[in-house]
Amino acid sequence: DVKVTQSSRYLVKRTGEKVFLECVQDMDHENMFWYRQDPGLGLRLIYFSYDVKMKEKGDIPEGYSVSREKKERFSLILESASTNQTSMYLCASSLWGGRLNTEAFFGQGTRLTVV
Partner 1 sequence: DQQVKQNSPSLSVQEGRISILNCDYTNSMFDYFLWYKKYPAEGPTFLISISSIKDKNEDGRFTVFLNKSAKHLSLHIVPSQPGDSAVYFCAAPSAGGTSYGKLTFGQGTILTVHP
Which chain residues interact with partner 1 by CB under 8 A? 4, 9, 31, 33, 35, 40-45, 48, 50, 54, 56, 58, 90, 92, 94-109, 111
> Rounded distance, CA 8 to CA 29, Å?
21
> Rounded distance, CA 79 to CA 53, Å?
19
- The per-residue DSSP string of 43-102 comes to EEEEEEEEETTEEEE-S--TTEEEEEEETTEEEEEESS--GGG-EEEEEEEE--SSGGG-
Q: Report, in Å, the least distance between residue 69 CB and partner 1.
A: 18
Residue number, 16 or 97, with CB nearest to partner 1 = 97
Q: Report, in Å, the least distance between residue 9 CB and partner 1.
A: 8
Q: Report, in Å, the least distance between residue 80 CB and partner 1.
A: 27
Residue number, 14 or 100, with CB nearest to partner 1 = 100
Residue number, 42 or 83, with CB nearest to partner 1 = 42
Under a CB-based contact definition with an 8 Å cutoff, are residues 49 and 66 in contact?
yes
Residue number, 11 or 104, with CB nearest to partner 1 = 104
Q: Report, in Å, the least distance between residue 83 CB and partner 1.
A: 21
